[in-house]
């Protein structure tokens, strides 16, 4: 592929996950912004793990040595560049307030990445009750690193915190398992929880939009180096819809990868990308032991009470929504004595860490200084209390700091979901209504044409997973014959949804497999005279169909993610889809809409709609268009904060 295009993508990955360097220009000293160089000294060290592997670690220590400081660490697979003790980034730490307040900031290349030795393992499995020093995982590497830091870095106060966004968020969650006694605070942010439900899969459906990113997670590295070792497939177009439609079955994409030399990571191929992760994905289509071992959520039942946690996420995070919600809920359920707080705002992936004053996701504007407020009043306060203050368990923060994406304002609650919510069930009526009363009619059928699948965005340029689709206007989909639309009357009062949403579909298909996608939409009034300066030119907020939440269920996994099963043609079948949490007020004058469809392309791959044991190995002849029916006993179950009859 063209090197310039590859570099742009790699730099985008680095920025969007907030690796410490950002783009290449950050590696050069900015004469107008030398705060880090002026106020911190930089040291690069190698820290030896219990099994003898050395991990590259960068330490920034305040130049003011008249006092002690806590250590704040981020472990990352995305590089702790710029390398070299004379090279300084223009920003360190989670935010500018903490950088200026003064912490010992530590970055580490995880095992097998960049300048660190060892073998990289994508989502390395946690090993409880380790029996020898040869049994290592990210928890032991974190423990060994902290042990070295508190004993060797001058002027530290003996307290350590961890933080990170996305994959570094996964390592942050990991740090709380078998935690070092010095670890007092951890903030997993947009943290990956399980790759069968985050990022690359949603309820077993493969996110085709991640195809080009697989080498970032699955390319072996032979020698420590400060340059990238992974290449990316060149699709030779930005129109992914047409590219993947023309490509056909997933097995046709194998040609972009080289498996022959995977056992010899020192061998490179000029025309193919090495990627053991793509091989892992395609050979393990079900939730088997490979995926189960990689998940971190199931291990959060024994987080030490001494580790305070603050889980952070964005309501419109296209990459990691499952992870932070399930991380918070699992810690809360199994560790009730722990300090555990949740912060969710109107952000896309990692949006809270950016410095832009206006907060928008795609076309939709939520307000000004929202991220700055989080950094100053929530994040900085949390770490200050547990690492510099008395750490008595009360950081002055609520249990849940959540942003209402409809009212566009913060709310605080002593629990999440809030106390006092009530279940409200709305049925999918065949006159396109959402009805509180179960209809008696049979339901609606639609033709799912695999040669003309429903797009997930109107945009032609869809490289990687565009974050903006999470708030995209859904009118284009509502007007297709293969998308069923159900909605309330115009609301005569505000309706606030708080907590998860459960779609309880009753369906049938003429085939033996199908995907089911449910979207919850906020339909704005047609006379609304309010627009966002970032909005696409062809759109107005008048009658805007804001996607509030959406999710897919690969139908074969309706009863078990580990043991898929086909549909019986034309037989009524229950399919339940958990849509994850929301906090959104549908304002008076708006309508609540639900859309149901069976393709969502190329966000997810095409289901052949005839059952095959492994969709990644399906042949062209397995893909058949089918008729699907959604019956009127199907319902959507909401958690409503201010329940009223609809």
Q: What would the pLDDT profile of 410-448 be if each residue is shown by its tens digit?
A: 999 999 999 999 999 999 998 899 999 998 878 899 999
Q: Are residues 390 and 486 in the same domain?
A: no
What domain range includes position 440? 422-640
Instruction: Name the domain count of the chain.
Output: 2
Rounded to whole angstroms, the Cα distance separating 345 from 363 reads 17
Tell me, yes or no, whether 209 lies in a domain. no
Q: Are residues 530 and 604 in the same domain?
A: yes
Phi, psi of 54 (to 5 degrees): -95, 130
Question: Token pair of 596, please?
Answer: 């149901």
Phi, psi of 484 (to 5 degrees): -85, 135
Rounded to whole angstroms, the Cα distance separating 281 from 277 reads 6
Could you say which of 378, 413, 448 is where a domain stops? 413
The owner of tokens 């991990």 is: 55
Q: Do residues 73 and 50 touch, judged by C-beta distance below 8 A? A: no
Q: Are residues 23 and 129 in the same domain?
A: yes
Could you say which of 395, 413, 431 is where a domain stops? 413
Q: Are residues 323 and 438 in the same domain?
A: no
| Residue 260 CB neighbour total at 10 angstroms | 10
- CATH number of the domain enclosing 35: 3.40.50.1820
Checking phi first, is residue 234 left (phi over 0); if not, alpha (psi -120 to 50) or beta?
beta
- CATH number of the domain enclosing 511: 2.60.120.260
Q: Are residues 182 and 155 in the same domain?
A: yes
Helix axes 138-152, 167-175, angle to 10 degrees: 70
pLDDT at residue 221, rounded to an integer = 65
Q: With H, G, I as helix, E, B as strand and everything else as coil, classify residue 568.
A: coil
Rounded to whole angstroms, the Cα distance separating 86 from 95 reads 22
Tell me, yes or no, whether 612 lies in a domain. yes
pLDDT at residue 229, rounded to an integer = 60
Rounded to whole angstroms, the Cα distance separating 81 from 92 reads 11
Q: Return the half-sphere exposure (C-beta side, CA atoms, 13 A cut-off) of residue 282.
A: 21
pLDDT at residue 1, rounded to an integer = 37
Q: Which of 91, 76, 75 is nearest to 27 (CA)?
A: 91
Question: Token pair of 259, please?
Answer: 């498996």
| Residue 595 CB neighbour total at 10 angstroms | 22
Tell me, yes or no, whether 226 lies in a domain. no
Instruction: Name residues of the chain where pLDDT drops below 70.
Output: 1-32, 220-230, 258-275, 391, 393, 462-464, 643-646
Tell me, yes or no, whether 446 lies in a domain. yes
Q: Are residues 408 and 431 in the same domain?
A: no
Q: Are residues 316 and 405 in the same domain?
A: yes
Q: Are residues 569 and 631 in the same domain?
A: yes
Q: Are residues 382 and 430 in the same domain?
A: no
pLDDT at residue 315, rounded to an integer = 98
Could you say which of 413, 440, 468 is where a domain stops? 413
Tell me, yes or no, whether 265 lies in a domain. no
Rounded to whole angstroms, the Cα distance separating 230 from 183 reads 33
pLDDT at residue 268, rounded to an integer = 39
pLDDT at residue 293, rounded to an integer = 92
Q: Are residues 511 and 433 in the same domain?
A: yes
pLDDT at residue 463, rounded to an integer = 63
Residue 590 makes CB contacts below 8 A (sequence gap 6+) with 490, 491, 522, 523, 524, 525
pTM for this entry:
0.91
Question: Token pair of 75, please?
Answer: 């472990």
């Amino acid at each position: 592929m063209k090197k310039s295009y590859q570099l742009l993508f790699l730099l985008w990955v680095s920025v969007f996950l907030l690796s410490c360097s950002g783009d290449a220009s950050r590696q050069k000293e900015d004469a107008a912004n030398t705060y880090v160089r002026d106020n911190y000294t930089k040291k690069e060290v190698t820290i030896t793990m219990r099994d003898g592997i050395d991990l590259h670690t960068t330490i920034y220590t305040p130049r003011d040595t008249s006092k002690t400081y806590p250590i704040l660490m981020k472990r990352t697979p995305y590089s702790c560049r710029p390398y070299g003790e004379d090279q300084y980034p223009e920003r360190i730490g989670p935010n500018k307030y903490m950088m200026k307040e003064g912490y010992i900031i530590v970055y580490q290349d995880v095992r097998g990445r960049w300048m660190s030795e060892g073998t990289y393992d994508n989502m390395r499995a946690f090993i409880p009750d380790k029996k020898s020093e040869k049994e290592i995982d990210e928890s032991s590497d974190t423990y060994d690193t902290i042990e070295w830091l508190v004993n060797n870095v001058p002027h530290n106060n003996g307290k350590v915190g961890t933080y990170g966004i996305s994959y570094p968020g996964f390592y942050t969650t990991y740090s709380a398992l078998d935690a070092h006694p010095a670890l007092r605070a951890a903030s997993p942010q947009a943290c990956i929880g399980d790759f069968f439900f985050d990022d690359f899969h949603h309820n077993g459906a493969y996110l085709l939009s991640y195809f080009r990113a697989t080498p970032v997670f699955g390319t072996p590295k032979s020698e420590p180096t400060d340059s990238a070792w992974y290449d990316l497939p060149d699709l030779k177009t930005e129109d992914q819809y047409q590219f993947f439609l023309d490509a056909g079955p997933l097995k046709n994409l194998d040609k972009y990868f080289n498996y022959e030399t995977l056992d010899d990571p020192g061998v490179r191929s000029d025309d193919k990308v090495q990627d053991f992760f793509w091989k892992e994905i395609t050979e393990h289509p079900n939730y088997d032991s490979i995926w189960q071992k990689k998940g971190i959520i199931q291990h959060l039942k024994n987080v030490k009470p001494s580790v305070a946690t603050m889980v952070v996420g964005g309501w419109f995070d296209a990459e990691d929504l499952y992870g932070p919600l399930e991380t918070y809920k699992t810690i809360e359920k199994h560790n009730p004595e722990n300090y555990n707080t949740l912060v969710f705002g109107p952000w896309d992936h990692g949006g809270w860490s950016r410095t832009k004053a206006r907060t928008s996701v795609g076309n939709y504007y939520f307000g000004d200084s929202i991220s700055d407020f989080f950094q100053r009043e929530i994040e900085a306060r949390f770490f200050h209390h547990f690492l510099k203050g008395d750490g008595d368990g009360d950081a002055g923060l609520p249990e849940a700091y959540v942003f209402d994406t409809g009212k566009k304002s913060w709310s605080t609650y002593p629990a999440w979901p809030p106390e006092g919510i009530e279940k409200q069930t709305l049925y999918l009526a065949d006159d396109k209504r959402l009805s509180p009363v179960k209809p008696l009619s049979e339901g609606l059928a639609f033709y799912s044409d695999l040669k003309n699948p429903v797009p997930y965005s109107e945009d032609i340029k869809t490289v990687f997973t565009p974050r903006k689709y999470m708030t995209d206007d859904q009118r284009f989909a509502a007007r297709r014959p293969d998308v069923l639309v159900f909605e309330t009357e115009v609301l005569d009062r505000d309706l606030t949804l708080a907590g998860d949403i459960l779609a309880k579909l009753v369906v049938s298909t003429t085939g033996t497999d199908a995907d089911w996608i449910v979207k919850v939409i906020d339909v704005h009034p047609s006379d609304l005279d309010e627009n966002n300066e970032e909005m696409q030119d062809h759109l107005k907020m008048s009658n805007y169909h804001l996607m509030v939440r959406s999710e897919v269920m690969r139908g074969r996994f309706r009863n078990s993610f580990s043991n898929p099963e086909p549909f019986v043609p034309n037989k009524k079948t229950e399919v339940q889809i958990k849509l994850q949490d929301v906090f959104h007020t549908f304002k008076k004058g708006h309508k609540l809409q639900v859309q149901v469809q069976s393709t969502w392309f190329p966000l997810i791959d095409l289901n052949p709609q005839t059952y095959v044991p492994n969709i990644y190995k399906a042949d062209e002849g397995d893909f058949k268009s089918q008729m699907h029916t959604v019956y009127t006993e199907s319902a959507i179950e909401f958690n409503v904060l201010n329940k009223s009859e609809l």
